[in-house]
Chains A and B, each alone.
Chain A
Amino acid sequence: MKALINSVSRLGRGTIFLSKILAGIPQLFLRFQLVVQQVYSVGVQTLFITLIAGLFVGMVLALQLYYTLTTFGATDTLGMIVDLSLVRELGPVVAALLFAGRAGSALTAEIGLMKATEQLSGLEMMAVDPVHRIIAPRFLAGFISMPLLAAIFSAVGILGAYSVGVDLLGVDSGAFWSQIQAKVDFYDDVMNGIIKSVVFGFIVSWIAVFEGYDCIPTSEGVARATTRTVVHSSLAVLAMDFVLTAIMYQ
């Protein structure tokens, strides 16, 4: 019972915290360099792992599907299937999981350590609201970076599938692209994938900054908050993915 009340009150705190962040975002456009700095540490530093992961996911998808599709003599559809799986599902979801592991955990640890070393209280002493100065730029940066990372993941994945499918396994290059352009719809498939990644960016950034801000300010508390960020945001991404897919592709 106590655990239930605890988690409900955490949810409430998280929601109030979110409304404070959102209220602080309009001011950020006056000091946009704060956001640019955070896009660097949240987005640019996640770029490398996203590129590598996207390339290998695309390559292994092409390899696996090729062996299955040869039994039906339908290897021409390889590009289309890889493209659909990437832009609809794997791009947004895997990029969000990588983002939670690479950027979300770092955000929580950074904010948690700021709290543990009383830097946040220090800011408050100087009449600077830490939510506006520290939290909001990080949240907005995550929100901006996530769709870009997901798009990069999908694009690199398709190129990886092309290199394996066409260059290595001998699928026809024209069939690869023409099947993609005939069957993948921009609004139904690509746009819905982008909407998914926007939602995931929102969720992961929210969980990461909240866990950091709400952690127990000890070294153990920061460690536990970091773990919680990765676990909770991964689960939230997967659950939201199911809900969004159910809404989008009825």
Chain B
Amino acid sequence: MFRSIEISVGLFVGIGLAALFMLAMQASNLGSFTSEGSYQVSARFVNIGGLKVKSAVKVSGVKIGQVADIDYDSNTFEAVVVMNIEDKFSQFPRDTIASIFTSGLLGEQYIGLEPGGDIKLLENQSEIRHTQSAMVLEQLIGQFLFSKSKDK
């Protein structure tokens, strides 16, 4: 009698742990990206818009890393964004351009890298010099209205 109870309790705990494992690996981001095996690159932006920690870093639309830290440098009045990039994507020229894009009109913001032509490569802890800030919709509308009223 006690043996069958043991078996069913074992099954119950097993199913429970399997469910936890499934939630961890299949139903969350744990299985998809690990911060080990990555190197850090920083970039300065005048305006980062709605960029957040864990936003994606993409090249040609392929996700190669994520934003690790966002800080504000009060000497230069710029935002400093540190990103983790996976080790297998280590071949980026020194003059790579980092821009902040929006996926879709109202979607999430991410950092898009465009490789340049330099022979020297980006290394761990190096800084991307060429950056382009986020497009802020309100500013664009403001500029548009301003230029319209000037035309008249």
Contact = CB atoms under 8 A, between A and B. Distances in A.
A37 B32 contact: no
A40 interface: yes
A182 B29 contact: yes
B29 A184 contact: yes
B6 to A, nearest CB: 6
Interface in A145-159: 145, 147-149, 151-152, 154-156, 158
Listed residue (A83, A156, A186) with the most chain B CB atoms within 10 angstroms of its CB: A186
Interface of A: 33, 36-37, 39-40, 43-44, 47, 83, 87, 145, 147-149, 151-152, 154-156, 158, 177, 180-186, 189-190, 194
B27 A36 contact: no
Chain B, interface SS category: helix
A156 B19 contact: yes
A154 B23 contact: yes
Chain A, interface SS category: helix
B28 A185 contact: yes
Contact of A44 (B9, B18, B20): B9
A154 B18 CA distance: 12
A155 B27 CA distance: 8
A154 B19 contact: yes
A145 to B, nearest CB: 8
A190 B23 contact: yes
